[in-house]
Amino acid sequence: MSSSSDFQQDRHSFSGSPQKWTDFELPGDTLYYRFTSDMSNTEWGYKFTVTAGHLGRFQTGFEILKQMLSEERVVPHLPLAKIWEWQVGVACRQTGHQRLKAIHLLLKIVQCSTQRDCDLTLLKPLWQLFTHMENNLCHDVTKPGILLPLHRALAELFFVTENRVTELGSLQEYLLALNTEDHLHRCTAQ
């Protein structure tokens, strides 16, 4: 296998049992491969999987998207609605620093988007996480009110998002979309 048709660049050769095969990366967007049999046996052959990009390289995707969202001339050409949907999903699934980075990108998208770009109702799972953190902070009076990085990041995201939807005149719809019916009933009762 190689990144060039003459098999001179980035060449990887394998022979024998599957244990002798190892994962490797090739630069570029094309893979050239050639199978040659020595006819020593008549088994099925070999199977390999090719994956484009850097599977599992969260940091690479984060840096690229962060840079694209920072370029004012690029933002109008981005499919912000789709990127928003993906990033909300990433923020919901990831943990630790990766979740913080996903929230950072959501914040950048909110700041450079229009109302139609982002389905803000997708934030509901993150809103539930945030309100759960808020409730735990309020109920634990034995510990000083130190906010964890995730709590601070979510607080900033929802603060900026609320200001943005207020500017766009859709605050009521946004707040109704984030809250559960049960929560709205409790608030009404209070």
Number of H helices, E strands in the chain: 7, 0
> Average pLDDT for residues 69-89, to the nearest whole number?
91
**At residue 32, what are phi and psi to the nearest 5 degrees?**
-110, 135
Burial 148-177 (b: 16+ CB within 10 A, else e): eebbebbeebbeebbebbeeeeeeeebeeb
Across the range 3-28, mean pLDDT stands at 81
Q: Which structural domain, as residue segments, surrounds residue 102?
A: 56-179
Task: Tell me the pLDDT tens digit for each residue of 148-168.
Answer: 889 999 999 999 998 888 888
pTM value?
A: 0.64
Amino acid at 109: I
In a domain, 71, yes or no: yes
pLDDT at 53: 64
Mean pLDDT of 49-76: 81
Give the model's pLDDT for residue 113.
78
Does residue 102 lie in a domain region?
yes
User: Is 108 a member of any domain?
Assistant: yes
3-state secondary structure of 60: helix
The count of domains in the chain is: 1
